[in-house]
Amino acid sequence: MSPKQTGQRLGVHPAPQVPAYPASGRIMKGSVNLQPSLRARNRHSLNPGGGYWFWYLLPALLVYILFMAYPMLDSVRLSLYAGTTGTRQYVGLANYTRLFTDPVVSTRFWGAFKNTWVFFAYHMLVQNVLGMLFAVILTSRTMKGRKIYQTIIFIPCTIAVMVSGYLFRLLLNPQFAGPSLRAMGLSALVRPWLGDPRTALNVVSLVSVWQWVGIPTMMFVAGLQGVSEDLLEAADIEGCNAWQTFWHIKFPLILPVVGMIAILTFVSNFNAFDVVYAMTGPNGPPNYATDLIGSLFYRYGVAGEHPIGIPEPGVGAAISTSVFVMLLAGVLPTLRATQGRD
Amino acid sequence: MDRTKVKPRKTRSLRLARMNLPGHLLMLVWAVVVLLPVYLLVVNALKTRMGMYADPFALPLPLVWDNFRAIINQGNFFMYFANSLMVVVVSLGAILMLGSLAGYGLAHWRGKLARGLYFFFMIGMMLPIKIATIRLMELMKLLGLFNQLWSIILVYIAMGLPIAVFVLTEFIRGLPGDLYEAAHIDGARRSKIYYSIVLPLIKPALATVGIYNLVPIWNDLWFPLIFITQEDKKTVLLAVTRLQGQYTTDWPKVFALLTLSALPVILLYLSMSRQFVAGLTAGAVKG
Amino acid sequence: MKKLTALLLAALMLATLVPGLVQAEGVKLTMGSWRSDDTAQVQALLDKYKELTGVEITFQPTVPAQYNATLRLQLDNGTGPDLMYSRTFAASKELYDAGFLLPLNDIAALKDNFSAASLEAFMADDGTIYAVPYAAVSQIVYYNKAIFAENNLEVPTTFEELLNVAQALKDKGIEPLANGIASNWDILECVFLGMLPNYVGGAEERALYEAGERKMNDEAFVKALTDFAALSKYLPEGFEALANEDGPGMFGMGRAAMFIDGSWTVGMFDEYPDLDLGVFAIPAPEGHTPGLCFHSDMGMAGNAATQHPEEVKAFLAWFASVEGAQEAANLLPAGFYPMINAPVELSGEMAMTILGLNEGKVLDYRFIWKDFLGMYTVMVDNLNAIARGETTPEAAAEAFAAAQEEILAAKAE
Burial of B142 (0-12, 13-18, 19+ CB in 10 A): exposed
Structure confidence at residue B188 (pLDDT): 73
HSE value, Cβ hemisphere, 13 Å, CA-based, for C377: 17
Structure confidence at residue A10 (pLDDT): 30
Q: What architecture is the C27-136+296-348 domain classified under in CATH?
A: 3-Layer(aba) Sandwich (3.40)
Q: For residue A266, is pLDDT > 50?
A: yes
- Chain C residues within an 8 Å CB radius of A176: 246, 249-250
- Specify which residues C86 forms β-bridges with: C299
3-state SS, residue C1 = coil
The string of pLDDT tens digits covering residues C235-285 is 999 999 999 999 999 999 999 999 999 999 999 999 999 999 999 999 999
- Higher model confidence: residue A150 or residue A19? A150
Task: Tell me which residue range forms the domain holding A127.
Answer: 86-339
What are the φ and ψ backbone dihedral angles of C135, each rounded to 5 degrees?
Answer: -150, 150
Alpha-carbon gap, residue B37 to B43, rounded angstroms:
10
Q: Measured between CB atoms, which of C17, C77, C246 is closest to B138? A: C77
How far is the alpha carbon of A241 from chain B, nearest alpha carbon, in Å?
9
Q: For residue B285, is pLDDT > 70?
A: no
- Whether A286 sits inside 8 A of C182 (CB atoms) is yes
- Whether A308 sits inside 8 A of C90 (CB atoms) is yes
Number of domains in chain A: 1
Nearest CA in chain C to B136: C77
B44-56: average pLDDT? 93
Structure confidence at residue C7 (pLDDT): 54
- In terms of domains, do B197 and B237 share one? yes
| Confidence category of residue B16, pLDDT binned at 50, 70, 90 | low
What is the pTM assigned to this prediction?
0.88
The string of pLDDT tens digits covering residues C335-393 is 999 999 988 888 788 999 999 999 999 999 999 999 999 999 999 999 999 999 999 99
What are the φ and ψ backbone dihedral angles of A324, each rounded to 5 degrees?
Answer: -60, -45
Structure confidence at residue B241 (pLDDT): 80
Structure confidence at residue C203 (pLDDT): 94
The string of pLDDT tens digits covering residues C297-313 is 999 999 999 999 999 99
Q: For residue C410, is pLDDT > 70?
A: yes
- Whether A174 sits inside 8 A of C241 (CB atoms) is yes
- Higher model confidence: residue C400 or residue B178? C400
- Specify which residues C302 forms β-bridges with: C83
- Residue closest to C397 by CA, chosen among C371, C372, C379: C379
- In terms of domains, do B58 and B82 share one? no
Neighbours of B36 (CB within 10 A): 13
Alpha-carbon gap, residue B248 to C65, rounded angstroms:
11
In total, chain C counts a number of residues equal to: 413
Alpha-carbon gap, residue B138 to B132, rounded angstroms:
10
Alpha-carbon gap, residue A204 to A196, rounded angstroms:
12
Q: For residue C17, is pLDDT > 80?
A: no
Structure confidence at residue C16 (pLDDT): 43
Nearest CA in chain A to B112: A50
Structure confidence at residue A2 (pLDDT): 34
Q: Are A329 and A318 in contact (CB under 8 A)?
A: no
Do the domain assignments include residue B7?
A: no
Do the domain assignments include residue B69?
A: no
How far is the alpha carbon of A59 from chain C, nearest alpha carbon, in Å?
7
Domain boundary among B40, B64, B88: B64
| Confidence category of residue B281, pLDDT binned at 50, 70, 90 | very low
- Whether A287 sits inside 8 A of C68 (CB atoms) is no
Q: For residue B9, is pLDDT > 70?
A: no
Alpha-carbon gap, residue B181 to C166, rounded angstroms:
84
Alpha-carbon gap, residue A301 to A105, rounded angstroms:
13
* pLDDT-above-90 percentage for chain A: 48
A286-295: average pLDDT? 94
* pLDDT-above-90 percentage for chain B: 40
- In terms of domains, do B60 and B79 share one? no
- Whether C77 sits inside 8 A of B221 (CB atoms) is no
Do the domain assignments include residue A221?
A: yes
Do the domain assignments include residue A328?
A: yes
Strand bridging mode C28-33 / C83-86: parallel
The residue extents of the domains of chain C are 27-136+296-348, 137-294+357-412
Do the domain assignments include residue B123?
A: yes
Do the domain assignments include residue A77?
A: no
- Residue closest to C224 by CA, chosen among C321, C150, C291, C131: C291
What is the residue-wise DSSP string for A104-148? HHHHHHHHHHHHHHHHHHIIIIIIHHHHHHHHHHHH-TT-SSHHH
What is the residue-wise DSSP string for chain B? --HHHH--HHHHHHHHHHHHHHHHHHHHHHHHHHHHHHHHHHHHTTS-HHHHHH-TTS--SS---HHHHHHHHSS-HHHHHHHHHHHHHHHHHHHHHHHHHHHHHHHH--SHHHHHHHHHHHHHHHS-GGGGHHHHHHHHHHHT-TTSHHHHHHHHHHHHHHHHHHHHHHHHHTS-HHHHHHHHHTT--HHHHIIIIIHHHTHHHHHHHHHHHHHHHHT--HHHHHH--SGGG--HHHHHGGGB-SS-B-HHHHHHHHHHHHHHHHHHHHHHHGGGTT---HHHH--
Q: Are C209 and C397 in contact (CB under 8 A)?
A: no
What is the residue-wise DSSP string for B50-107? HHHHH-TTS--SS---HHHHHHHHSS-HHHHHHHHHHHHHHHHHHHHHHHHHHHHHHH
- In terms of domains, do B146 and B239 share one? yes
A81-105: average pLDDT? 87
Structure confidence at residue B2 (pLDDT): 43
Q: Which residue out of B29, B126, B139 would a mutagenesis test of the A interface target, given it has the greatest number of A Cβ atoms within 10 Å?
A: B126
Q: For residue A33, is pLDDT > 50?
A: no
Burial of B155 (0-12, 13-18, 19+ CB in 10 A): buried
Alpha-carbon gap, residue A156 to B32, rounded angstroms:
12
- In terms of domains, do B244 and B144 share one? yes
Q: Measured between CB atoms, which of A174, A285, A304 is closest to C184? A: A285
Whether C63 and chain A come into contact, CB under 8 Å, resolves to no
- Residue closest to A32 by CA, chosen among A212, A255, A199: A255
Structure confidence at residue B74 (pLDDT): 72
Structure confidence at residue C370 (pLDDT): 93
Structure confidence at residue B271 (pLDDT): 86
How far is the alpha carbon of A108 from chain C, nearest alpha carbon, in Å?
12
Q: Are B170 and B204 in contact (CB under 8 A)?
A: no
Nearest CA in chain B to C275: B50
- Whether C17 sits inside 8 A of B144 (CB atoms) is yes
Which range has the top average pLDDT, A101-110, A178-187, C93-102, C158-167?
C158-167
> In this structure, is the dihedral angle defined by the CA atoms of residues B116, B122, B127 and B129, taken in order, positive or negative?
positive
- In terms of domains, do B102 and B142 share one? yes
Angle at which helices B149-173 and B77-108 pack, to 10 degrees?
30
Structure confidence at residue C259 (pLDDT): 98
Q: Are A27 and B179 in contact (CB under 8 A)?
A: yes
Structure confidence at residue C171 (pLDDT): 97
The string of pLDDT tens digits covering residues B157-189 is 999 999 999 999 988 887 877 777 777 777 777
Structure confidence at residue B115 (pLDDT): 87
Domains C27-136+296-348 and C137-294+357-412 share a fold: yes
Torsion (CA) B130, B135, B138, B139 in degrees, nearest 10: -90
Question: Could you tell me where the DSSP H helices lie in A172-254?
Answer: 178-183, 200-212, 214-224, 229-237, 242-244, 251-253
In total, chain A counts a number of residues equal to: 342
Q: Are B162 and A65 in contact (CB under 8 A)?
A: no
HSE value, Cβ hemisphere, 13 Å, CA-based, for C169: 32
**Which H helix or E strand runs over C26?**
none
Q: Measured between CB atoms, which of B101, B195, B244 is closest to C63? A: B244
How far is the alpha carbon of C287 from chain A, nearest alpha carbon, in Å?
33
- In terms of domains, do B154 and B35 share one? no
Q: For residue C14, is pLDDT > 90?
A: no
Nearest CA in chain A to C383: A287
Do the domain assignments include residue B194?
A: yes
| Confidence category of residue A57, pLDDT binned at 50, 70, 90 | very high
Q: For residue C154, is pLDDT > 60?
A: yes
- Chain B residues within an 8 Å CB radius of A275: none
Structure confidence at residue C285 (pLDDT): 97
Do the domain assignments include residue B234?
A: yes
- Residue closest to C180 by CA, chosen among B50, A182, A172, A185: A172
- Whether A309 sits inside 8 A of C72 (CB atoms) is yes
- Whether B133 sits inside 8 A of A302 (CB atoms) is yes
Structure confidence at residue A86 (pLDDT): 66
> In this structure, is the dihedral angle defined by the CA atoms of residues A238, A242, A244 and A246, taken in order, positive or negative?
positive
Q: Measured between CB atoms, which of B162, B249, B266 is closest to A158? A: B266
A230-235: average pLDDT? 84
Alpha-carbon gap, residue C122 to C102, rounded angstroms:
12
3-state SS, residue C176 = strand
Q: Which residue out of B98, B100, B131, B246 would a mutagenesis test of the C interface target, given it has the greatest number of C Cβ atoms within 10 Å?
A: B246
Q: Are B279 and A30 in contact (CB under 8 A)?
A: yes
Q: Are C38 and B227 in contact (CB under 8 A)?
A: no
Task: Tell me which residue range forms the domain holding B27.
Answer: 17-64
A41-61: average pLDDT? 74
Q: For residue A25, is pLDDT > 70?
A: no
* pLDDT-above-70 percentage for chain A: 84
| Confidence category of residue C140, pLDDT binned at 50, 70, 90 | very high
Structure confidence at residue A342 (pLDDT): 41
The least confident of A43-57, A108-122, A258-272, A317-331 is A43-57
| Confidence category of residue B1, pLDDT binned at 50, 70, 90 | very low
Number of domains in chain B: 2
Please state the ipTM of this predicted complex. 0.87
CATH number at residue A123: 1.10.3720.10
Alpha-carbon gap, residue B202 to B196, rounded angstroms:
11
Alpha-carbon gap, residue C268 to C350, rounded angstroms:
12
Name the CATH code of domain C137-294+357-412 (choices 3.40.50.410, 3.40.50.11810, 3.40.710.10, 3.40.190.10).
Answer: 3.40.190.10
Q: For residue B32, is pLDDT > 50?
A: yes
Q: Measured between CB atoms, which of C10, C90, C238 is closest to A174? A: C238
Do the domain assignments include residue A23?
A: no
Strand bridging mode C175-177 / C256-262: parallel
Structure confidence at residue C331 (pLDDT): 86
Q: Measured between CB atoms, which of C6, C183, C241 is closest to A193? A: C241
